[in-house]
Structure 1
Amino acid sequence: MKLRSTIATLIILLIILADQIIKISVKISMCLYDKIHVTDWFYIFFTENKGMAFGMSFISTLWLTLFRLGAIAFFVYVLVKQIRRQAPIGFLVCLSMIIAGAFGNIIDNSLYGLIFTESAPIPPPFAQPAHFVEFGQGYGSFLRGHVVDMFYFPLFRWPDWMPLVAGQTFFGAVFNFADAAISCGAAAMLLFYHKYLSFVLSSSKRAQDATDKTLSK
């Protein structure tokens, strides 16, 4: 059990650390919507969003953060339970990636508005990157910070004759390291551990049914 808990803790801490290093580096060195050409299909493109992962925005930042906190609490509970059950290490790695990614974006929502000036958009000639300020003197309040995104992969454009998507960029979302951790963790879990996940879900359902029968007596 010690090995599994150590691996899970290290993965969570390393992902959060890497995510924050990348985000802070981008925020203090680039203006909003500034773009660095890496290859024709990969750019560092600084954007911010108030909503969901991959730039989606249809829930207020406050409610989104509270939802994420609830989700993290649930997944941490599941992680601890699975560590005690000696679950496969790969399954625990996937779960840890999801937890770390969600927590990484919560840091942006919770603290960035308190510790940074607002990022100025280009192309104004005197636009400057954001910088640190005294705690509480930033551009927003607690739970109302913006999530920093920067990875953009415009792999190709759909041909003009394609219906509905003509001329649009394939996978035009801009995302961050935390989003990638969540997506990769969830995808790997479904791909490689779907049988174990089904076992976990069915076990939880049987336990709940047993509890309900006990309470109904």
Structure 2
Amino acid sequence: MSLKKSILFVILVLVIDQVSKIYIKTNFQLDQEVYVFDWFRIHFIENDGMAWGVELPGNYGKLFLTLFRILAVGGIFWWLKDSIEKNSSKILIISISLILAGALGNIVDCVFYGVIFNDSKHEVATLFSNEPYGTWFHGEVVDMFYFPIWKGYLPEWLPIWGGQYFTFFNAIFNVADAAISVGVALLIIFNKRIFKD
């Protein structure tokens, strides 16, 4: 796969990610939920962009995270370019492209959303609002896909979690998160074929 095709693939995933986020942000209030099926819902939440809800302390934590992500994207792009020049496995190039697209998608939220949207609490947000909810590099990431496939109490005999209420799959995510997860999964599953040298 050429660099041009890879970049077009990254742009396609990025556009799908941003269109879905902008649609949710401008049509849903925060925590609004629509049932598609009992096990699949569209549930609008926002987060600061850290994995598993972890936050960096202080006023500069979010800025540091966003700048770190931008540097990481530079490294991922270099890895993609280098892999294409070395004529690496197509699976490797697709994996890196997915990871790059996902990282870019969440960076767009963090960098721009705070200055182009108003707050989503108790109202549907407006794109290019005169009253933005944040500042540059302090936007929140939009998540919407929720798959609570099973809910119930775990058996008492299980160590640590026995008897506790549990939801599988409890994470709420977006297209960018899915792209990163699929990219990493491909790297793990096809590890021997990708890195045979």
> Which TM-score applies when normalising by structure 1?
0.81
Corresponding residue number in structure 2 for 1:9: 7
Whichever residue aligns with residue 57 of structure 1, its letter is V
Q: CA deviation at 1:88?
A: 1.5
- Secondary structure of the equivalent of 1:145? coil
Change (3 A) 1:161 1:15: same
Q: CA deviation at 1:134?
A: 5.2
Number of paired residues?
189
Change (3 A) 1:190 1:37: same
| Bigger Cα displacement from structure 2, 190-199 vs 172-181 | 190-199
Measure, in 1, the Cα distance between the counterparts of 2:103 and 2:76: 10
Which residue of the other structure, out of 31, 39, 42, is the alignment partner of 1:41? 39
For residues 48-197 of structure 1, the aligned pairs below 5 Å read 48-53=46-51, 55-59=52-56, 60-120=61-121, 127-133=122-128, 137-162=131-156, 163=158, 164=161, 166-197=164-195
Q: Mark the runs of 5 or more structure 1 residues left unpaired by the alignment.
A: 121-126, 200-217
Q: CA deviation at 1:160?
A: 4.1
Measure, in 2, the Cα distance between the counterparts of 1:198 and 1:87: 10
- Secondary structure of the equivalent of 1:119? coil
Corresponding residue number in structure 2 for 1:208: none
Measure, in 2, the Cα distance between the counterparts of 1:114 and 1:169: 35
Cα deviation code 1:127-148 (max 9, x no counterpart): 320002358x411111100000
- Secondary structure of the equivalent of 2:42? strand
- Secondary structure of the equivalent of 1:169? strand
Measure, in 2, the Cα distance between the counterparts of 1:151 and 1:97: 18
- Secondary structure of the equivalent of 2:166? coil
Whichever residue aligns with residue 114 of structure 2, its letter is G
Measure, in 2, the Cα distance between the counterparts of 1:174 and 1:109: 17
Q: CA deviation at 1:195?
A: 4.6
Q: When you count strand as a share of all residues, which structure comes out higher?
A: 2
Identity of aligned residues (%): 37
Measure, in 2, the Cα distance between the counterparts of 1:87 and 1:160: 45
Cα deviation code 1:173-198 (max 9, x no counterpart): 11100000000011011111345337
Structure index of larger Rg: 1
Aligned CA RMSD, in angstroms, stands at: 1.8
Whether the 8 Å contact between 2:106 and 2:141 is mirrored in structure 1 is yes
